[in-house]
Amino acid sequence: RNNKDFIIVLGAGLVDGHKVGRLLGSRINRGIAFYNHQIHKANKHAKLIFSGGQGSDEKVPEGVAMQQYAWEHGARKADTLVEDQSVNTSQNMQFSKQLISKVSNDSQPKVVFVTSNYHTLRAGILARKAGLDAFGIGAKTPFYYLPNAVIREYLALAVMHKKFHLVMLGLILVSSIALGILAWVSSR
């Protein structure tokens, strides 16, 4: 829907410590595209929040580099904000929510987040945990990066829900042993 008050664009690391790379650029471009689409369709200017802190190998916070990139690609300066303290997706959501609370007069602002398509599910789960009622928009991921990214996301989801996965693995193991014993007993 074209009624969003805030568009959170999640960081993805900088190239050479200061440049927006292809993966991060696709996220920002997707956020700007939604921002422009909403202005065109509903004449509603959302605030773009560029969320990402400064890693040990980065010369500037990701959020600052993302904002600069967005200005160069058509976003209005007045419609951009920076969250520059987060170091992971969970913190992206928490700190962006805090920023929204500071600048919004609305008790229930309408929020959407933008990330890479492979990352949308986990980011959505983390948004809910942070208390953000937000849906995700996925940006296209370069094909060469996709296999590694999907494996990484799967492992991250498994770790997030490790109790569930351990219980399921235990049930599968117990069921397999029980079926093996039944097959062995019935073959005698």
| 39-67 tens-digit pLDDT | 999 999 999 999 999 989 999 999 999 99
**Which domain range does residue 30 map to?**
6-141
**What is the torsion angle, in degrees rounded to the nearest 10, for the CA atoms of residue 66, residue 111, residue 134 and residue 144?**
-30
Nearest to 34 by CA among 44, 24, 23, 25: 44
Q: How far apart are CA 43 and CA 37, in angstroms?
A: 9
Residue 158 belongs to some domain of the structure: yes
Count H helices and E strands in the chain, helices first.
Answer: 6, 7
**Domain identity same for 120 and 33:** yes
| Chunked mean pLDDT (size 10), the chain, 188 residues | 94 94 96 96 96 94 97 96 97 97 92 96 96 95 84 86 88 94 90
Domain count, the chain: 2
